[in-house]
Structure 1
Amino acid sequence: MSNLEKSLFQLKFTTKQLQRQAKKCQKDENVEKAKLKKAIEQGNMEGARIYAANAIRKQTEALNLLRLSSRVDAVASRVQTAVTMRGVSTSMASVVKGMDKAMESMNLERISLVMEKFEQQFEDLDVQTQVMENTMGNQSALSTPQDQVELLMQQVADDHGLRVKLDLDVMPNTAVQAKEQEAKEQDDLSERLRALRG
């Protein structure tokens, strides 16, 4: 097995591992959402906020892992092409040996150039993959935006027909505001009609 083939195996293995980790994060996210629902039912808003933040963090982690897995898979595809090209170049070299010297040197030179380009591409992609892995490591301590936490709490509550007692300044009840606005407009309209009749 050549170094290139070993790298290809490693890349495919890494892709599978990342996908497995992403699935685990998605499961963890669902567990946190279930805890969030229970906390809302019990009126434990502080706990609910914590579970909502955890669920969002797990969701972000899963997306980052899937993104990275997709990129590693793209690198694997390029390496697969390089492995195929190396096989093709070996076959071509053995065919060329039977030809005259001029043809042989021209084709081998071309094959060698193609392989150098592929190897350079692979090295560049390898560096990029390492950078991405480092970035992923740094993103694990993500802070969760407060508005996302409140929004997820509201969604879970709505999905399960629960009422959430959130601070009105944090998350205004738009439905109540809309009804109040509608009632005010009706009153204004009635006033205008009375004024016209009078």
Structure 2
Amino acid sequence: MGNTEKLLNQIMELKFTSKSLQRQARKCNKDEKSEKLKVKKAIEKGNMDGARIYAENTIRKRTEQMNYLRLASRLDAVAARLDTQAKMFTINKSMSNIVNL
């Protein structure tokens, strides 16, 4: 029974980490939007060097967001596999009890 509890704890930790990564991705999306506004304001003022820097920051935030989402998706997939494994473990245990009877 201890093995199943460890597996369930790992699944919960993976889900928690995945949600944390999704939160960070949303934060990056928000930062990306603010950087886009800074680019627009810099272009309107004629500050092309500043606009270029803000544009690079925008691109960096976008790739960071996508990386967070990719990693969160991978963690969700691992958690799903572990969940399936935990369910199969309990099914196998109950089947072995039935067969022994």
Q: TM-score range by the shorter chain?
A: over 0.9
Shift of 1:90: 1.7
Out of 10, 13, 24, the position equivalent to 1:10 is 13
2:83 matches 1:80: yes
Distance 1:15 1:57 in 2: 21
For residue 91 of structure 1, report the CA deviation from its aligned partner: 0.9
Aligned to 1:43: 46
Distance in 2, matches of 1:89 and 1:24, equals 43
How many residues matched? 98
Matched, 1:62 2:65: yes
* CA–CA distance in structure 1, aligned partners of residues 34 and 70 of structure 2: 22
When normalised by structure 1's length, the TM-score is 0.48
Kindly provide the amino acid, as one letter, of the partner of residue 36 in structure 1.
Answer: V
Q: Distance in 2 between matches of 1:95 and 1:21?
A: 47
Which runs of no fewer than 5 residues in structure 2 stay unpaired? none
1:146 alignment partner in structure 2: none
Q: What is the rounded CA distance, in whole Å, between the counterparts of 1:6 and 1:93 in structure 2?
A: 25
Larger Rg: 1
- Indicate whether 1:31 and 2:29 are aligned: no
Runs of at least 5 residues in structure 1 that lack an aligned partner in the other structure:
99-198
Q: Which amino acid aligns with 1:81?
A: T
Q: CA RMSD in A?
A: 0.9
* More relative contact order, 1 or 2 (CA 8 Å, 6+ apart): 2
- TM superposition shift of 1:8: 0.5
Structure with the bigger percentage of helix: 2
Distance 1:85 1:16 in 2: 25
Q: Residue 13 of structure 1: CA displacement?
A: 0.8
- Structure 1 vs Structure 2: percent identity of aligned residues? 56
